[in-house]
A and B are shown apart, each in its own frame.
Chain A
Amino acid sequence: MAVKTWHLQRRTFLRGAGVSLALPFMNAMAAGGEEKALQSLPKRAAFIFFPNGVSLPPEKDPQHEDWYWFPKGEGRTYEFRTSQAALNPFRENISVISGLSHPQNRNSGDAHVNPTGFMTAKDIVKGKTSLNSISIDQVISDFHRGQTQLASMPLSTVGGVGNLSRTYTLSFDKNGKGIPAWSNLKEIYERMYVANSPAAKARLREKTQLLNEIYRDAKDLKRNLGQQDQATLDEYLASIAELEKKVANDKLWADKGTHAAPPEMNLEIEFTDVENYIRTMYDLMYLAFKSDITRVATYQIASEGGTAPTNNLSKHIGIGKDLHQLSHSAAKGKDGFKDWGQWDQFVAQQLAYFIKRLGDAKEGDGSLLDRCLVFQGAATSKVHDNTNFPLILAGGKKMGHKAGQFVSYDEQANALSNLFVRIANSMDVPIEKFGDSSGIPMNELFA
C-alpha cells in the first residue's frame, strides 16, 4: 500500500541534497569571484507533457468563465481562471502561451498520434511514418553530453517507448528512435545515484567487459560478410561505441565520488496513487537538477488516447470519467467541461508544486528556478484539434526568459519550433533551426 510518507521524508533528503549543492558554486567563488561563480552555475530545462488537450468551453457555455484553460486578459495583466489558479503565486515566473503548435504535424487521421511529434515537430502519420526525428531535449542534451552524469532523464508514467501511434516517451534520439522512458521511481533513483553502491559499480564493470567482448565478436564476424551486411554490423559497432561512452561516463562519475548523498525517499509508489507518484517524479527531477546530475529532463504525465494504462489517472483522483472520456464527452454532458477542468486543475497543482520546489531552493544570487526553464504543454488544444497548444513556460529568468505575461501568437504565421529554438539557445545551444521553425525570433518571450 502506498502511503503519503513523502511529506516526512522530503525533509531528510533536502538536507542530504543541500550539502553537495553548494559545492561547485563555492569552489568557483574561491577561484574567481562572484560573477565567475554565477556563470558557472548550470542551466536546466524540463519538458512536461499531458495528453488530450484541455477544457475549452465555448464562450456561450456557462462553464467558460471558470474552466476555460487559457487566462482572461492578455499581456502582463492576465488573470488565471479557476483551473490554473494554483499557479497564481508564481505568475511573475510564468508565461502562458497560446497560438503555437506544429503546423507540419497535423496530417494523421487519428489525432492521438500527433503527440509523438510533440517534442520533434515531425509530421507523424500512422502507418506511414516509420521513424520520428530528434526531439528538442535531445538536441540540448547532445550538446551538453559529458558534463553531467546523466545526459538526460527521459521520464514517463507508462515507461518504455510505446509505438509511433501511441508514444510512451517524449524523447527521440538523433536517428528518430524513441528513447525508452523511465517510469519506475526506484529505478530512476538508482540511475541518479548509481555511482554510490558497490553493486552498481560491479554492474558497470560487468557491462564494460561484455561490451569489449561483443565488440571483438562483431569485428570478427564482419569479415565473412557482404557489403550490405557489413553496413548492418557497422551500425551495431557504432551502438556499442555509443553505449561504451555512456558506461565510461557512468564510471567516471562513479569514480569522482563527488555525489550528493542519496536522500531517503519513499519510492514504493504506484502511479495509481496519482498525486504522490507525479510529485515524486517532480521531486526526482528537482533533485537531479539541484545536484547537477542532469541538465535536461522530459516527463510524460500520461499517454495520449483511450488505451494507455494511464488513461484512468483521472478516475484515480476521483473524477468519474477516464482521461479520454473527459476529453470526448466535454461538449456532450452538462458538466463535461467542468469535469475536464478539474483534471486541468490537478495538472496545474502538480506543476505549481514543482515550480515551488525549484523556487524555494536558493542558488547563487537567486533560486534554482531562475536557471531552470520548465516547459509544459499538450499536443492538442482540445481533443483531436492539433492547433493552439496550451503552453506554459516557467522559470529561467536568468536564462533570458521574460516571464510574467500571457502571449498570444498568430497560429497561421508561427510555430512551436521557433520557441524550441529559443529554449535551446537559452541553454547555450547555438542552433538556428529546429523542425519546421521559420526564424521568427520570439523576442516577446526571450531577451
Chain B
Amino acid sequence: MIESILLKSLLALRLLFCGILLVCMPGFAWGDIQPDLNKFRQQVKPLLQKYCVACHGRQDFEGKIRLDNIDPNIVSGQHSGRWEDIREAFNSGEMPPEDQPQPTVTERLVITNWLDKEFKKWKRYGIPNRQGSVRRLTRYELQHALEDLLQISVADEVSVLPEESTSVETGLKNSSRLLMISGPHLESYLNVVLSVIQKMKRITAFEPYFEKFDIANLDTEPAVTFASEGRKNKPPVDKVERAGTGVLVNQGGYIDLPIRSISQYMFQTSLSAKAEKPGKLQVAIGFTHSEVDPRQKTEVLGTIDIAKSDELRTYSLNSYPEMLPTEMTRALDRPFFIRITNRSSQPIYLESFDYKGNVNTELTATLLPADIPGLDMTDHLRQKIYRFIEKAFRRSPSDAEFQKYYGIYQTHTRTEKAITALLSTYKEILCSPSFFYLGIPGDLSAEDKTNYKLAERLAFFLWCSVPDQALLESASMGELTKPSNLSSHIERMLRDKKSRRWVEHFTDQWLQTSNLFNVAVDRNYYPRFKPSLKELMRSETVESVNDVFRHGSPALDLLDANHIFVNQTLAVFYKIKGVKGTEFRKVVVNKNANRGGLLTQGTFLIGNSDGMNSHAILRGVWLSDVILNDAPPEPPKNVPPLDDSIPDFDKLTLNEKLFAHRNKAACKSCHEKIDPWGIPLENFDASGAWRDQVLVVSKAESGPEKAKKTNFNRDYIPIHRESILPDKVSIDGVSELKQYLIHHRKHDFGQGLVERLLAYALSRDLDYHDEDLVKQLVKRFEASNYSVPVIIHGIVQSERFRRGY
C-alpha cells in the first residue's frame, strides 16, 4: 500500500512538473513560412536513418508509421498528421524503444528544434478558411451593452451565463470561432433579459422617499450621535463639536444618522458643508446587529471632496444596494445608519444632511421623460423607440422592423402604463438576434453597412459595448469612414471612462490574471498575506496597463519602470512607505524597492506559483509566452517521472527537484528555454513579497499535546537566482532581467502586444495573411516609442478593421 501511495505521489509530482507547460499558447513568430527542407536533409534525415528507419522503413511494420518515404514538408505537405504522431512518440520518449540505441542529447535537440519550428509554421499556414464576421456577444459585452442601453447594473443577472472559453492561440475570449451557443445557453440569455426587464419594471414602480436631518437640533443625549472612531473609551467631544446651526467635525470624527431602511434601488446622500482648507468626508452605511448585540458592520460608499469655501456648498453621493455585501442587503430590518467621517486633517463644518431612498427619478426620466406641454408625446415616443433599436442593433431599423416594435408598444399601452409598455417593448428588442449577434447588416445599403458596422466594431473594441449617439450619428450620415472623423472618435472614446472596460478585459485575457485567483496562498508560509490583497494586486496590474493604453505612457513601462501603482494597503504589503488612502496612484519608487513593471506585480508572482513556493517553471512559461511572445511548446504527454533515485529526494526543495527534473535529457531541451526566465524572480516568494532566503515549512516531529495549532519547523535556505538565458547571457536577479528585456527583447514584447491587440480588435486568431499589417504596426509601435494609442489608431484605420475581416 505504501508503495502504491509513493508511486501515486510521484505520478502526481510528475504531472505537476510537466503538465504546467501546457498553460502556454503558441504565439506567432512572423517570418518565413517556407518549410526548412535543407535542415531536414542535412541534419534530421541522417538521424532518422540512424535510429528509426531500421524498423519504420518496412512495408509490413506493425506500427505502420513509415519514415523512409515521408514527405518532409510539414507546413503544406501530405504527411502533417503522420508527423504529429512522430513528434509525440519522440518527445514522450516512447520512441526509440528502450532496448534500441538512443540519440544523444544534442541529437535530440536537433530533431525537436526542427519539429517545433516546422509545426509553428504549419499552425499559421494551416488555417484554410477565414472565419465569418458574425459572432455573438461575450458575457461581459452583453453586460456592458445592457448597462449602457438601460442605465442599470446587470452584473448579478449575467453572472448565471457561462464564461467564454479562451482561444488557445491568443488567450482571448472574443474569438468568433469559439463563441458558440446551445439551447440551455440561449435559455439563460433570454432569462437574463427577462429578469432585467422585470427588475426595471419593479424599480420604476417605486415611490422615492426622503429623510431630512436637522443637524443643529439633533438630540445629543443620551443617544450617541457623535462619536470618535476607533478607541472606544475616548470621549467624542474633541472630535465633533457643536458650532452655530451645525456641527464641526474634526479629523477622524464622525456622526451617525439613522435611516428608515436600506434602499432597494439607488440612494442619495446629500450634505451641505464648508471648510477652510480642502477636505474629505467619507460616507459609509452601516447597521447594528441588534438591540442586544451592539456590534456594527459598516461599508464605505465613497468619499466626497469638500472644497475650500467660506460659504456652504451642497454635495451629494449616489450609491446602489449592489455595492453592499449580501450580509447587509439581506438584513433589511436592522437599524441602519449613514456615517459621515472626516477623513482629512482639517475640521469640516456640516450643516444639513439629506437622505433619499429608492431614487428612481433619474432612471424613470431617462426611460420616459415627463409630459412636457407642447411636446408631442407620440412623436417623442416613436423617436425614443427608434433610437433604442438603432443603438441596440447598431444600425438603423428597416421600416418593417420599426413598425413591428412600435406595434408591440401600442399593444402594451392598452393594458400597461407607458413606462411599463416601453420596457416590454425593449424586452422584445433585446431578445432579438440583431442585438445578440455582431456583424448583422440587416437590410442596410452598402454604404450604411460599412459605416454602421464600423461604429459597431469600434464600440465593441474600445468600450466592450454598443456605440453611443455620436458614433451612430456619424455612421448614419456616412461620415464615420473618413479618417479624420475616425481619429477624433478614437481619441474621444479613449478619454471616455468606458474604455477602461476594454483595458480591464483585455488585461485579464492577455496577461492571464485569473491565475491569481486560482492559487490559494498558504497562510502557514505567509501570515502577512490576506486573500483580499489579490483584488488589489489585480487593480495594480490594470492600473499599470491603463496608464499605457489610455494615458499613452510607453508600453516599455510594463517591462521596467521607476514607478508602481498602489494604494496604502498594497504599498504596506510591498513595504513601500508614504502611501496613504484607498485610491490607487502612481508612486515613484527607487531601485532598492525592487518594484516596477509587470514582472514584480503580485498578480503574476502569485498566479504563477503553487501557493507555498515560487515556481520558476510556471513563471518562466508565463514570461516566455506573454512577454517574449514565444510560447514554449507543449510538453510531451508521457514525461518520465521525477528521478527519486537522487539521494535525499524527499528533502529537496521544489527548486532543487525542478533542477533535477530539467537535467534529465528528455526534459532539458525545453526547460533550458523556460526555467532561466523564472529563476531571476526567485527573490519574490509565492505571496509576491520580497525575500532574501527561501522559507521551508515542515511539520514538527513532536509538539505539546494540548497545542491547538500544529507546530511547524521553519527553515531557511539560500536563494539561487543566477540564470543563464537561452542566448548564453548570464544574469543575476530581477533588475538584470528587466534590463536585459528592455535592451534585447523589446521587439518581441512589442510584437506580442500588437498581435494580441489586433486579434482582439478583429475578434479572431491571426494567420499569415495578417503578417504585413502586423509588421507595419510593429514598425509604427517602435517609431512612436511604444505608444499603444498610436497602435489603436493604426489598427482602426487599417483596411482590415474598417472592412471587418
Chain A residues, Cβ within 8 Å of B15: 106-109, 111, 384, 386
Chain B residues, Cβ within 8 Å of A74: none
B607 CB to nearest chain A CB (Å): 11
Kindly identify, within residues 1 to 60 of chain B, every residue whose CB is under 8 Å from any CB belonging to chain A: 1-2, 4-5, 8-9, 11-12, 15-25
B187 at the interface (CB under 8 A from A): yes
B138 CB to nearest chain A CB (Å): 13
Chain A residues, Cβ within 8 Å of B171: 127
Q: Are A214 and B12 in contact (CB under 8 A)?
A: no
Q: Are B437 and A210 in contact (CB under 8 A)?
A: no
Given A166-B518, A175-B180, A239-B183, do A387 and B8 touch, yes or no (CB 8 Å)?
yes
Q: Are B25 and A127 in contact (CB under 8 A)?
A: yes
B441 at the interface (CB under 8 A from A): yes
B294-331 toward A: CB 8 Å interface, digit per residue (1/0)?
Answer: 00000000000000000000000000000000000000
A384 CA / B15 CA spacing, docked (Å): 9
Chain B residues, Cβ within 8 Å of A173: 182-184
Given A130-B168, A240-B186, do A109 and B433 touch, yes or no (CB 8 Å)?
no
A/B interface sample: 29 pairs, CB < 8 A: A56-B5, A108-B15, A109-B22, A111-B12, A126-B22, A127-B512, A161-B162, A164-B165, A173-B182, A177-B185, A180-B188, A214-B431, A214-B433, A217-B434, A218-B433, A221-B437, A221-B442, A225-B134, A226-B132, A231-B132, A235-B181, A241-B183, A243-B190, A245-B183, A246-B187, A306-B520, A325-B520, A331-B699, A335-B710
Q: Are B524 and A332 in contact (CB under 8 A)?
A: yes
A335 CA / B705 CA spacing, docked (Å): 11
A128 at the interface (CB under 8 A from B): yes
Given A109-B15, A239-B183, do A228 and B162 touch, yes or no (CB 8 Å)?
no
Q: Are A243 and B130 in contact (CB under 8 A)?
A: no
| Chain A minimum-CB-distance residue to B615 | A109
Q: Are A59 and B131 in contact (CB under 8 A)?
A: no
B178 at the interface (CB under 8 A from A): yes
Given A217-B433, A329-B710, do A385 and B19 touch, yes or no (CB 8 Å)?
no
A423 CA / B391 CA spacing, docked (Å): 52
B174 CB to nearest chain A CB (Å): 13
A210 CA / B301 CA spacing, docked (Å): 40
| Chain B minimum-CB-distance residue to A324 | B520
Chain A residues, Cβ within 8 Å of B522: 328
Q: Are B165 and A239 in contact (CB under 8 A)?
A: no
A166 CA / B518 CA spacing, docked (Å): 8
Q: Are A127 and B23 in contact (CB under 8 A)?
A: yes
Q: Are A163 and B183 in contact (CB under 8 A)?
A: no
Nearest 4 CB-CB pairings of A with B:
A306-B520, A228-B132, A242-B183, A109-B20
Indicate which residue in A106, A112, A228, A388 contacts B130 across the interface (CB closer than 8 Å): A228
| Chain A minimum-CB-distance residue to B189 | A239
| Chain A minimum-CB-distance residue to B14 | A106
Chain B residues, Cβ within 8 Å of A108: 15, 19, 22
Q: Are A233 and B437 in contact (CB under 8 A)?
A: yes
A108 CA / B436 CA spacing, docked (Å): 34
Q: Are A179 and B11 in contact (CB under 8 A)?
A: no
A210 CA / B399 CA spacing, docked (Å): 21
- A interface residues, Cβ below 8 angstroms from B: 56, 58-60, 106-112, 125-128, 130-131, 159-166, 173, 175, 177-180, 206-207, 210, 213-214, 217-218, 221, 224-229, 231-233, 235-236, 239-243, 245-246, 305-307, 311, 324-325, 328-329, 331-336, 381, 384-388, 411
B506-538 toward A: CB 8 Å interface, digit per residue (1/0)?
Answer: 000000101001111010100000000000000
Chain A residues, Cβ within 8 Å of B434: 217, 221
B698 at the interface (CB under 8 A from A): yes
Given A160-B159, A239-B182, A246-B183, do A109 and B131 touch, yes or no (CB 8 Å)?
no
Chain B residues, Cβ within 8 Å of A165: 514, 518
Chain A residues, Cβ within 8 Å of B2: 58-60
Indicate which residue in B19, B441, B711 contacts A107 across the interface (CB closer than 8 Å): B19
Chain A residues, Cβ within 8 Å of B803: none
Indicate which residue in B132, B437, B442, B524 contacts A236 across the interface (CB closer than 8 Å): B437
A127 CA / B170 CA spacing, docked (Å): 10
Q: Are A130 and B167 in contact (CB under 8 A)?
A: yes
Chain A residues, Cβ within 8 Å of B129: 228
A161 CA / B159 CA spacing, docked (Å): 10
| Chain B minimum-CB-distance residue to A165 | B518
Please name 19 further chain A to chain B contacts, defined as beta carbons within 8 Å, in addition to the given A228-B130, A239-B181, sorted by A numbering. Answer: A127-B22, A127-B512, A130-B167, A163-B165, A206-B194, A227-B132, A228-B133, A228-B134, A229-B134, A232-B135, A235-B180, A236-B181, A236-B437, A240-B186, A242-B186, A243-B183, A334-B711, A385-B9, A386-B12
Indicate which residue in A224, A233, A311, A328 contacts B441 across the interface (CB closer than 8 Å): A224
Chain A residues, Cβ within 8 Å of B428: 210, 213
Kindly identify, within residues 596 to 651 of chain B, every residue whose CB is under 8 Å from any CB belonging to chain A: 611, 618, 634, 637
Indicate which residue in B134, B163, B519 contacts A233 across the interface (CB closer than 8 Å): B134
Q: Are A387 and B11 in contact (CB under 8 A)?
A: yes
A435 CB to nearest chain B CB (Å): 17
Indicate which residue in A131, A162, A221, A385 contacts B163 across the interface (CB closer than 8 Å): A162
Chain B residues, Cβ within 8 Å of A107: 15, 19, 22, 637
Chain A residues, Cβ within 8 Å of B20: 109-110
Q: Are B16 and A180 in contact (CB under 8 A)?
A: no
| Chain A minimum-CB-distance residue to B186 | A239
A381 CA / B512 CA spacing, docked (Å): 29
B724 CB to nearest chain A CB (Å): 24
A106 CA / B16 CA spacing, docked (Å): 10
Chain B residues, Cβ within 8 Å of A246: 183, 187
| Chain A minimum-CB-distance residue to B187 | A243
A439 CB to nearest chain B CB (Å): 21
B432 at the interface (CB under 8 A from A): yes
B103 at the interface (CB under 8 A from A): no
B322 CB to nearest chain A CB (Å): 18
A423 CA / B551 CA spacing, docked (Å): 60
| Chain B minimum-CB-distance residue to A163 | B163
Chain B residues, Cβ within 8 Å of A221: 433-434, 437, 440, 442
Kindly identify, within residues 741 to 797 of chain B, every residue whose CB is under 8 Å from any CB belonging to chain A: none
A181 CB to nearest chain B CB (Å): 10
A162 CA / B160 CA spacing, docked (Å): 9
A109 CA / B22 CA spacing, docked (Å): 8
A394 CA / B12 CA spacing, docked (Å): 29
B187 CB to nearest chain A CB (Å): 5
B712 at the interface (CB under 8 A from A): yes
Given A229-B439, A307-B518, A332-B712, do A385 and B183 touch, yes or no (CB 8 Å)?
no
Q: Are A381 and B8 in contact (CB under 8 A)?
A: yes
Chain B residues, Cβ within 8 Å of A56: 5
B166 at the interface (CB under 8 A from A): yes
Indicate which residue in B4, B24, B165, B190 contacts A207 across the interface (CB closer than 8 Å): B190
A173 CA / B23 CA spacing, docked (Å): 25
Q: Are B184 and A336 in contact (CB under 8 A)?
A: no
A218 CA / B165 CA spacing, docked (Å): 25
Chain A residues, Cβ within 8 Å of B183: 173, 239, 241-243, 245-246
A182 CB to nearest chain B CB (Å): 10
A155 CB to nearest chain B CB (Å): 14
B85 at the interface (CB under 8 A from A): no
Given A131-B165, A214-B432, A224-B442, do A333 and B699 touch, yes or no (CB 8 Å)?
yes
Indicate which residue in B16, B441, B524, B712 contacts A384 across the interface (CB closer than 8 Å): B16
Q: Are A179 and B12 in contact (CB under 8 A)?
A: no
